[in-house]
Amino acid sequence: STEYIESFIDEINSNNNDVETPLYPGSAISIRDACDRLIHYFFPLGCRLPRTIFTLFKMTNNDYRSEVSVRCVECGQVLVQSNEEKCSTFCIHNGKHRSYANKAELAIMNVEIEIKRVAERYINLINDYPKQAEHLVPCDIINGQIYHQMSNSKSERNITIILHTDGAPAVKASTTIAEIPIPLRDWKSAVMVFGIWLASSKPPRDHLLKPITIQLQKLMESKILLKQANGSHLWHNVRVQQAIFDLPARAHLLNIVQYNGYDGCGDCFIKGM
């Protein structure tokens, strides 16, 4: 039944989709791989049940999968087919043969699900650390003035997002949660990926950041419901405190010249030498 399939998918999703968790100690395949193979091989060929994990997601309207699109590397226009020559009218690649170097792949994750995936894993720390942070790590960000000046800083439960990105060709918009204590905050299992641009050059900034900010804005205007350790569910506010870029990424995303240019400072008007 549909209820059984949805329960099955929830079980798969419960532990980071079990993409990396081995089926048993020493197993060469993960739990998710095993489930995929069981679906594919256990049922007879004439069986009408979905035979892949992704088909199960589609059947039950599960939106965990990232939104992936192939785009022109220069203008960011979506390409219906990977070899499509037509893109934006004024793009230098419009109407020309579409080589591999002139294509980009953009993946935008479901922000709410990414936050839930990490927050529910560390929910006890998220709830308790803000109460003890002043004594444990006095210099941490959540003890700062800006954090406490933000709305809903004391009386309610909060998820405060710190956005990170860099200027490498494979640009990744990743985030951490301020309420998770350091150094756990930067562990692989605590880092969320909201979007990634895979190409030979940097993305048009709006194509990467706009869909992410739209999702974050919706969560900030509402709240996010997180499962607690005791099985109950509580609402948490979602807030964004800061974005951390390296210098090439900052110049690109703020639409200013690079840091080694004559007018490369984003804070003053002093001309470089």
pLDDT of residue 81: 82
Question: Which residues fall within 8 angstroms of residue 170, CB to CB, at 6 or more apart?
Answer: 196, 197, 198, 199
Cα 115 to Cα 117: distance, rounded to the nearest angstrom: 5
Cα 110 to Cα 13: distance, rounded to the nearest angstrom: 14
Total-model pTM: 0.70
User: Which amino acid would we find at residue 43?
Assistant: F
Order of all β-strands in the sheet with 192-198: 67-72, 103-108, 192-198, 171-177, 158-165, 233-245, 224-227
Local confidence band at 63 (pLDDT 50, 70, 90 cut-offs): low
Under 8 Å between Cβ of 237 and 157? yes
Residue with tokens 């700062």: 144
pLDDT of residue 2: 47
DSSP characters over 104-153: EEEEE--HHHHHHHHHTTTHHHHHHHHHHHHHH-TTSGGGSHHHHHSTTS
DSSP-assigned letter for residue 43: S
**What is the phi/psi pair of residue 77, to 5°?**
-65, 135
User: For residue range 98-144, what is the model confidence (pLDDT) as tens digits?
Assistant: 888 888 888 888 999 999 999 999 999 999 998 888 888 899 988 88
**225-255 in b/e burial notation, b at 16+ Cβ within 10 A?**
ebeeeeeeeeebbbbbeebebeeebbbbbee
The domains of the chain are located at 2-59, 66-108, 110-254
DSSP-assigned letter for residue 30: B
Residue 70 pairs in a beta bridge with 105
Of all residues in the chain, what percent carry a pLDDT higher than 90? 21
